[in-house]
Amino acid sequence: MDLSKFKELYISEVETQIQKLNDNLLALEKTPEEKSILNDLMRSSHTIKGSSATMSYNHMATLSHVLEDIFDNARKGTLALSKGIMNELFNGFDALEKSLSAIKDTGVELDSTELSEKIKVLCTDSTKKVVSKVAAKTPTAPTKETDDFNEAFLNKDQTIDEISRVKVPIHRLDDLMDITEELLVNKMRIESLSAGLIDPKTAKSALIELKPAVEQLSRLVMDLQFNVLQARLVPLEQIFSRFPRMVRDLAQKQNKEIELKINGSEIELDRTIVDKLGGPIIHLLRNAIDHGIEQKGTISITAKHQKDYITLVIEDDGRGIDWDKVITSAIESNIISSEEGTKLKTSKNQKGMEKLLFDPRLSTKGEVTEISGRGVGLSAVQQFVEEISGRIIIKSPLEEGSGTRFTLELPLTLAIIDALLVRVKDQTMAIPFSSIERTVHVEQKDIKTIADHETAIVAGTDVPLIRLEQVFKDTFAKEDEKEQKDGPITVVLVKRGKEVAGIVVDELLAQQEIIIKPLPQTLSTIKGFAGSTILGDGRTVLILDLVSLLSYISGH
């Protein structure tokens, strides 16, 4: 396979992750008690390691693997990150950056063998037998470095600004040029009419002509918006083409016979999403190879359009998830107590067991292998899905009694969406239109409480209610939560998959196309919001994340 076509994407990915390594290690140096930073450091080193090995940059892969071991042992508490080790880690980051620069300029990486060995020896001496035992397991062959690329590859939330090229069909560029020409003509017309408004003799006629000119401007802006979004689309084949070789090599290493089937490669998504999507898929494929298929089987990747989003299904016909083993591993890793584990095994609470799978500390492997064993995996997949306001659904075993299916629900674009603007108390919020079923008025007599949660009867069906002033208590004044209407309430029915809920609002304002702006870094961890937008009057409005809100309902 010719990997040169992926070089630009690789460089963009690794540049982002090197910057993350530097930022996070600086943060850890200042606040060493924040152990959660080590998870981010592992994700970034995972990314560089796996993608470098995939591109056959072996020295980069080996060095990042050594860094990953250090963060892993520090996370487990078997290695103290002394000042000397911190300095060598920064030297390692610098070496990665210099090697990447060499790849940019010459296509050839730098030899970092000496530094890799120096860092390994330094950490081995620092942790004695504990780390030396782990180091002995560390594979030195770069072809084994692709194992955890999947988990962290997806954590590329800063690569949007670094996308340098997108292949655009000529006809789309022609359409953009035509629209630009029309906009220029329309601009000159509006300027002329604006000048006419100043003269009382021409003001009336200019005012009459101004309305259709503004309407034409609005149409042209909409056409421009549509065509720009189309220009950003890339086919999924761009990342799907990486997977057959990867599955073949890993299957051979485990002496397994695995067939990979791919459907929907022609479907196009926003480049921003496609750029982040490789990691989740690769992790799930490796998960199927290592945990699912025992000796011989099939893995399939299927992409389909579903209304205003796509579903991406990764499925295997293997043995399925051993939930009892997941719970046992969670107990051994001190994620849950023995009592909690016993309760989960007895109740078979699906959401509770899935929550364990998404914990970065969980691994059901007894030792680190070239496929898995570090436990970062699904937590990184979940992080990616949450960042783009998508959803992940797990089904295992399947209806036939075996196999596992992971379904990712992904938006078509992260830029512009249709939304319903609503008022709740004194706040205006936006609800993505793609998830709205309809709006209804519910009488007070049709509202009841089930398991300490309000439920409305709508067309004979129980629908859980979401009162935003209760979910986001810090957003509203304290007295707002206590205010309740005596008459009927307005409810926006929203649906994702099979989950339905009703969002209680005070007023429906308007349907509007909005431009999604990501939340500032300081607010990005707040659940319930997918981003923000700026209205025509300059107000900033928060966009509701329906996946988080539906999860809030299921957790109460």
Domain co-membership, 18 together with 118? yes
Q: Which of the residue ranges 62-66, 161-165, 282-286 would you say has the lowest mean pLDDT?
A: 161-165
* Cβ contact 525:518 at 8 Å: no
134 occurs within a structural domain:
yes
Domain co-membership, 174 together with 127? no
Domain co-membership, 7 together with 138? yes
Average pLDDT, integer, range 241-261: 85
In angstroms, the CA 451 to CA 466 distance is 14
Q: How many domains does the chain have?
A: 3
Among 395, 412, 417, residue whose Cα is nearest residue 404: 395
What is the per-residue pLDDT across 110-162, written as a single tens digit (0 to 9) for each?
Answer: 999 999 888 888 777 655 433 344 334 333 333 333 333 333 333 333 333 33
Domain co-membership, 427 together with 543? yes
Banded pLDDT at 50 (limits 50, 70, 90):
confident
446 occurs within a structural domain:
yes
Task: Tell which wins on pLDDT, 245 or 430.
Answer: 430
In angstroms, the CA 62 to CA 501 distance is 49
Report the predicted TM-score, pTM, of the whole model to 2 decimal places. Answer: 0.59
345 occurs within a structural domain:
no
496 occurs within a structural domain:
yes
pLDDT at 477: 58
Average pLDDT, integer, range 454-481: 79
Give exposure, 153-180, as e/b (b: 16+ Cβ within 10 Å).
bbbbbebbeebeeeeeeeeeeebbeebe
214 occurs within a structural domain:
yes
In angstroms, the CA 93 to CA 54 distance is 20
Neighbours of 183 (CB within 10 A): 16
CA dihedral (290, 294, 296, 299) in degrees, to 10, reads -40
Domain co-membership, 141 together with 176? no
**DSSP symbol at 518:** P
303: pLDDT strictly greater than 90? yes
Domain co-membership, 18 together with 142? yes
pLDDT at 483: 57
Banded pLDDT at 354 (limits 50, 70, 90):
confident
Q: Give the distance, in angstroms, between the CA of residue 121 and the centroid of all CA atoms in the same chain.
A: 36
Domain co-membership, 7 together with 137? yes
Which residues are bridge partners to 499 per DSSP? 496
Domain co-membership, 461 together with 548? yes
Alpha-carbon separation of residue 92 from 118, 259, 341, 542 (angstroms):
10, 38, 41, 41
Of the three residues 162, 196, 231, the one that is the final residue of a domain is 231
What is the per-residue pLDDT across 383-405, written as a single tens digit (0 to 9) for each?
Answer: 788 777 788 889 888 766 688 99
pLDDT at 485: 61
For residue 41, the number of C-alpha atoms closer than 13 Å in the C-beta half-sphere is: 30
Domain co-membership, 189 together with 69? no
Domain co-membership, 126 together with 10? yes
Angle at CA of residue 496, ends 493 and 500, nearest 5°: 40
Task: Tell which wins on pLDDT, 6 or 72.
Answer: 72
pLDDT at 29: 83
- The secondary structure of 4-31 as a DSSP string is GGGHHHHHHHHHHHHHHHHHHHHHHHH-
**DSSP symbol at 540:** E
Angle at CA of residue 48, ends 45 and 54, nearest 5°: 135
Q: Are strands 404-411 and 309-316 parallel, antiparallel or unpaired?
A: antiparallel
Of the three residues 231, 251, 283, the one that is the final residue of a domain is 231
pLDDT at 131: 36
What CATH number does residue 45 fall under? 1.20.120.160
pLDDT at 422: 94
**DSSP symbol at 140:** -
What is the per-residue pLDDT across 187-218, written as a single tens digit (0 to 9) for each?
Answer: 888 888 888 888 787 888 888 888 888 888 88
375 occurs within a structural domain:
no
234: pLDDT strictly greater than 60? yes
What is the per-residue pLDDT across 513-524, written as a single tens digit (0 to 9) for each?
Answer: 887 777 766 666
For the four alpha carbons of 339, 343, 345 and 346, in that order, the dihedral sign comes to positive
Of the three residues 204, 231, 258, the one that is the final residue of a domain is 231
540 occurs within a structural domain:
yes
Domain co-membership, 120 together with 196? no
250 occurs within a structural domain:
no
Domain co-membership, 427 together with 540? yes
Neighbours of 223 (CB within 10 A): 16
Q: Which domain holds residue 432?
A: 416-554
Average pLDDT, integer, range 166-183: 77
What CATH number does residue 492 fall under? 2.40.50.180
